Structure 1
Amino acid sequence: MKVAVGSAGPFYTFDLARQLDRLGHLEHLYTAYPSWKVDGLPKEKVSTFPWLMGPAMLANRFGFNRVRDRLNFPMIETYDRWMAERMAPCDVFHCLSSFGLQSHRAARSRHGALTVCDRGSTHIEYQNEIMREEFERFDAHFPGIDSRVVERELEEYAFCDLIFVPSSFAMRTLVDKGVPREKIRLNPFGVDLAMFRRQPKGDRTFRVLFVGTVSLRKGLPYLFEALAGFGHPEVELCVIGALEAEMRPLMAKYEGTYRYLGAVPRGELHKHYSQASVLVLPSIEEGLALVQAQAMACGVPVIATENTGAADLFTDGVEGFIVPIRDAGAIREKILTLYENPSMREQMGEAALARVTRIGGWDDYGVRAAEYYRDALEMRAGEANADSLR
């Protein structure tokens, strides 16, 4: 079984490609990321097209969000066209959603490949709707997801043989929007257990940690509100992640109540997780936030909303707590519970580490993906044989 993977950037699909290579299935990885940034794969199996991704990454790093956003659709279209022209013979073509419309068509028409759309978040229309609501709550301008991107994704949902999602929550949004359930495959993300490992905590500070893009989508206002006037000694809120423009007024409003570290290299994150007492992820919407498993691998309990895919990763009340979205009171209550019960906090941290260790890193993720491909290919072959006998 030969699998080609399309991954514009260093998302979890790079982990998928590495797992497929380990299993002997990877035919090729097509990426818009610079070649020197792609590790863990044979160079001959990687093709790169960084000419628009590179400038977009630089614009994002230096806060030029408008430039980044303007480059987004040209980058998607150009990268997709580049992949389609170079598509190697394969049995399966697996690509991140919105990036592979032409490539899926080329893989199917040219090579008869099974086509897999990988949607790492919720249904794109659901995502657009809930984010519009959230921006309106804070009187912030929401440009909306580019309608051309939405149209591409909807076409991919309809065209592709399978759609991969990382959580039951994401799956529900697709089904609710009319995507046939039989096309959807649930494959929760893994975690790099070698990179994310526990280190001794160096102080007695009760440290509440947030890791992720500092944005309205991630629900930061509710975390700030939850800790406003908390009034307990040795409590610190630490925020890690790139800052989006709509959050600047709120960051200014709560200035002095948190410590902001900006973006931190992925290889350094385990040090910050290990100094935390709890990770809080108050997101409004996402598929399955990787930071949850990363924190758990460092022995840290998690408080997350039900819209983070948390229920597919841990059990409420065992390795952490799952709370409703937009509920600062619920977040505050769970933080207070952990603050006042050190033994519970320690037990949850140990349970989190044990749970994520059982998941087995990314190995199980790759095995499940390969099984889904194989089952679909066998079913298609069986249907073709049945048709030939009629």
Structure 2
Amino acid sequence: MHYAVPRILSQSGMLEHFYTDICATKSWPRLLHVIPNSVRPQGVQSLLSRKPIGVPAKHTTAFTRLGWTRVRNRSKCKTPADESRLHLASNKEFGRLVVDAGFFGADTTFTYNTASLEIMQAAKQQGLTTFMEQTIAPMTIERRLLADESKRHPDWPYSDTADAYDELIAREYAEWEIADHVLCGSEFVKQGIADLGGPAEKCIVVPYGVDTQRPPEKKISHDGPLRILTVGALGLRKGTPYVLEAADTLKGTAVFKLVGPAEGLPTGREFPSNVEICGAVPRSQVTDFYRWADVLLLPSICEGSATVIYESLAAGLPVICTHNAGSVVKDGVDGFLIAATESSAIVTAVMRLASECELLKNLSLNAAEKAKNYSMRRYGERLVKVMKLKMRMPSV
């Protein structure tokens, strides 16, 4: 999904200008490619991957100093509260820089939650239409759900970051108020806004998509236990405690690989013998894990619409996930929808797939078929159609 929206808008002839904080195609980051791969630090490699392919450089402005300052300051953050304060300050500065640079004659803006307020305020003063994407359920909902999880699992890392969160939450409410249209990746996000008394009438659900131009690589055949994969930062928000509880019950039936940053795990704890903590891996290597797996498991407590679900469907993996994951999965067709916070529901779903080979095969075929409607091309079609309708532009 990285840079997907500006690329889609550019290809549709709708993009006047694209603003970002830092990318590999503007200013001094353009020169970093001369560093040999063998000696590139991980941070440089990550920066070089930030290429807005399909977006003309002449239509792109990168605030490189802001982006680089944010990267450097993030490394100094000692607590989640520090990170939240940095996030808030950087988003305010980004908005100010965009407003100062201007709108290049555009009649519409497209922005993202918590980085929108200053931009939309200026845009509305100039009579522009404002679209804002709410990328995850509202912070108030997320905060409430994670606080409940912390009570259930007090030994797991959790920080409320109250002061920074309070201002970010107020910012979200202000953004909903000023936006003409709020795009949501899932019904879970839209319902969260409605539950808080937000403007549900402004919300439009537009599910995402992933690049599926290449056919899925051949899966690794195997005998033995069912192979279960999770992808994402391990911790309370991803429902990792329930993965580990289920894994302990499923010894001999399933093996688990947990891929993602592991800072959210409790220290000094032993994990079930059928669980491998893989840690963070480069995006380019995640496909190897999809080939290894039989099933994706994502019992998330709070998401927007998790990209890993779309990727897994495209790889032909049935998905076991919660409604809170913002999923397009249909229960019993291309995966299973389970209740959040219930490891027993994970056990039941995995046991069924492990014991019913034909069901696993059918769900895998259905997953690959479902993915065809959630390619990047189809996402672009959905997004452009909605925007043109709301902008009163004729669809092509």
Given the two structures, how large is their TM-score scaled by the length of structure 2? Answer: 0.85
TM-aligned CA distance change 1:95 to 1:17, over 3 Å: same
Whether 1:92 aligns to 2:108 is yes
CA contact (8 A) 1:208 1:277 kept: yes
| Structure 1 gaps, min length 5 | 1-11, 380-390
What letter corresponds to residue 260 of structure 1 in structure 2? I
Whether 1:302 aligns to 2:322 is no
What letter corresponds to residue 252 of structure 2 in structure 1? H
1:375 to partner: Cα distance: 2.3
TM-aligned CA distance change 1:366 to 1:269, over 3 Å: same
Aligned twin of 1:200: 219
Whether 1:238 aligns to 2:252 is no
Kindly report which structure 2 residues correspond to 1:264-279, keeping only aligned pairs within 5 A, or say none: 264-279=281-296
1:30-65 CA distance string (max 9 Å, x none):
112323422312111221124344455567689955
1:244 to partner: Cα distance: 3.2
Whether 1:143 aligns to 2:160 is yes
Instruction: Quote the Cα distance in structure 2 between the aligned partners of 1:59 and 1:252.
Output: 31
Whether 1:333 aligns to 2:322 is no
Instruction: Quote the Cα distance in structure 2 between the aligned partners of 1:18 and 1:270.
Output: 23
Aligned twin of 2:365: 350
Aligned-residue sequence identity (percent) comes to 25
Kindly report which structure 2 residues correspond to 1:203-222, keeping only aligned pairs within 5 A, or say none: 203-205=222-224, 206-222=226-242
CA contact (8 A) 2:176 2:199 kept: no
Whether 1:175 aligns to 2:189 is no
What letter corresponds to residue 307 of structure 1 in structure 2? N
TM-aligned CA distance change 1:101 to 1:70, over 3 Å: closer
What letter corresponds to residue 296 of structure 2 in structure 1? L
1:267-317 CA distance string (max 9 Å, x none):
22222112101000010011211111101101110000111122xx12100
Aligned twin of 2:47: none
| Structure 2 gaps, min length 5 | 26-49
CA contact (8 A) 2:22 2:66 kept: no
Aligned twin of 2:88: 73
Instruction: Quote the Cα distance in structure 1 between the aligned partners of 2:334 and 2:204.
Output: 25
Kindly report which structure 2 residues correspond to 1:54-65, keeping only aligned pairs within 5 A, or say none: 54=68, 56-57=70-71
Instruction: Quote the Cα distance in structure 1 between the aligned partners of 2:232 and 2:76.
Output: 17
CA contact (8 A) 1:198 1:299 kept: no
CA contact (8 A) 1:197 1:270 kept: no
What letter corresponds to residue 299 of structure 2 in structure 1? P
CA contact (8 A) 2:313 2:371 kept: yes
Aligned twin of 2:178: 159
Mean Cα displacement is larger for which, 328-337 or 60-69?
A: 60-69
Mean Cα displacement is larger for which, 115-124 or 57-66?
A: 57-66
Aligned twin of 2:247: 227
What letter corresponds to residue 124 of structure 2 in structure 1? R
Instruction: Quote the Cα distance in structure 2 between the aligned partners of 1:38 and 1:80.
Output: 21
Mean Cα displacement is larger for which, 223-232 or 288-297?
A: 223-232
TM-aligned CA distance change 1:57 to 1:302, over 3 Å: farther
1:317-346 CA distance string (max 9 Å, x none):
010000000010000110111111222111
TM-aligned CA distance change 1:293 to 1:43, over 3 Å: same
TM-aligned CA distance change 1:171 to 1:340, over 3 Å: same
Mean Cα displacement is larger for which, 166-175 or 201-210?
A: 201-210
1:362 to partner: Cα distance: 1.6
SS at match of 2:3: helix
Aligned twin of 1:102: 118
SS at match of 1:378: coil
1:255-275 CA distance string (max 9 Å, x none):
644212222222222221121
Aligned twin of 1:23: 12
Computed over aligned residues only, the root mean square deviation of the Cα atoms, in angstroms, reads 2.3
CA contact (8 A) 1:35 1:48 kept: no
1:374 to partner: Cα distance: 2.3
Given the two structures, how large is their TM-score scaled by the length of structure 1? Answer: 0.86
1:240 to partner: Cα distance: 0.7
1:342-387 CA distance string (max 9 Å, x none):
221111111100111133x1222222222222222239xxxxxxxx
1:28 to partner: Cα distance: 1.6
Aligned twin of 1:322: 337
Whether 1:366 aligns to 2:380 is yes
Aligned twin of 1:263: 280
Structure 1 residue aligned with 2:266, among 245, 248, 272?
A: 248
SS at match of 2:316: coil
Aligned residues: 361
TM-aligned CA distance change 1:137 to 1:318, over 3 Å: same
